[in-house]
Amino acid sequence: MAELARADHPLSCVPMPDLPDSDSPLVLLHNPRCSKSRAARALLEERGVAFTERRYLDDPLTLVELYELAARLGRPPREWSRCGEEAWSAANLTDDAGDDAILRAMAAHPILIERPILVRGRRAAVGRPLERNLDLL
């Protein structure tokens, strides 16, 4: 993760048009087939919170966006990747895969991205458990 957090990293401060820089709007990275993702969406709706939904399987994040997301999450990509998916093996990822290899695999196989993820401004949270998303509201 230190690689991602360095100020001189070429992707650390690139503006992302689809990931907000201000505290509004919220962006929910959503997979409607996932019960946890549907629960996060329902939570936002129940609270009357305005948000934009991005179905990342249909509209995948670019590699640059994934680097930005890693910085906003403040967590190494391995911690918010789905290592049990067949795509993990298909991408030839191993237990010692580095951040760059994992992010490149996520760009090629978005199913590897854990969900739900809520983005607000320069912060993001993986909604597992769901209450983690409340920190951004």
Instruction: Tell me the pLDDT tens digit for each residue of 28-83.
Output: 999 999 999 999 999 999 999 999 999 999 999 999 999 999 999 999 999 999 99
Q: What is the dotted CATH code of the domain comprising 25-136?
A: 3.40.30.10
- Beta bridge partners, 30, equal 55
Cβ contact 112:105 at 8 Å: yes
Estimate the crossing angle of helix 99-108 against helix 63-73, to 10 degrees.
130
Q: What is the mean pLDDT of residues 16-32?
A: 73
Torsion of the alpha carbons at 27, 104, 111 and 60, rounded to the nearest 10: 40
Q: Which positions are catalytic? A: 34
